[in-house]
Amino acid sequence: MFELTGKTAIITGASRGIGKGIALKFAELGANIAFLHFGDGENAEQTEKELAEKGVKVKAYECNVADFEASEKVVDEIISDFGEAHILVNNAGIVRDTLILSMKEADFDAVINVNLKGTFNMTKAVYKHFMKKRRGRIINISSIVGLTGNAGQANYASAKAGIIGLTKSVAKELGSRNVTANAIAPGFIKTDMTDAMPEKAREATLAAIPLKRPGTVEDIANTAAFLASDEASYITGEVIRVDGGIAI
């Protein structure tokens, strides 16, 4: 397996779900973990405990990634606490699903602000640090709906498609500084987010997956670990679907 010993990873939205899975995998591979959550203190505390059991340095930070100044401040705090940062995983995300017919402006703005602008804010916050150190890994969690679109998710699909454009732009801007930027496009992964889906929608989605099972957070974490590792040093600007084939 891959090796992340001595690296520090900043992971947004890692108090639960996919972000937590990525944090646990990175910690198993030896990385120190600075993770962000927003309004999820109880889960964050539990995750912090589980990560510390892996024997690495761990700290949780409460920060709204949609807030530009707060993102900048938290990254400064992390770099002062950990010395430096090597990997950024932009995973924090929310949904506000409904057809455009009933979608409120606030539903659109909230999803864009957390998913897309949050990814920009955190990238901007680590940008100069990675540039100066002449190395860095940025891994953005998009979604297959950013590639395919989805009825009822115009806000979310726009944000996730935007993340792909952002990833490719960052890859081009920072390539000469030995910084890679890649996106993962998960399909249907079993987390609190998908547990909240209506039963019928969940059944229909499952039936459309060629591999006939929902994805696990470990499926995403394994891909993120590969992208963060030395073995992926020549991959940048790529979007990897981890979706059991649903978006083929």
| Least distance from ligand NAI to the Cβ atom of residue 223, Å | 12
Among 112, 131, 193, 239, binds ligand NAI (CB under 6 A): 193
Q: Name the DSSP class of 115.
A: I
108-137 binders of ligand NAI (CB under 6 A): 114
Q: Does 209 bind ligand NAI (CB under 6 A)?
A: no
Span from 24-32, 85-93, 98-106, 171-179 in contact with ligand NAI (CB under 6 A): 85-93
How buried is 80 (Cβ within 10 angstroms: 0-12 exposed, 13-18 middle, 19+ buried)?
exposed
| Least distance from ligand NAI to the Cβ atom of residue 42, Å | 11
Q: Does 66 bind ligand NAI (CB under 6 A)?
A: yes
* Cα 129 to Cα 121: distance, rounded to the nearest angstrom: 14
At 59, list the tokens.
């700290």
By three-state DSSP, how is residue 202 classified?
helix
* Cα 167 to Cα 205: distance, rounded to the nearest angstrom: 27
| CA atoms lying within 13 Å on the CB side of residue 83 | 7
Among 8, 32, 121, 194, binds ligand NAI (CB under 6 A): 194
- Point out which residues bind ligand NAI (CB under 6 A): 12-19, 36-38, 40, 63-66, 91-94, 114, 141, 143, 186, 188-189, 191-194
Residues annotated as part of the active site: 156
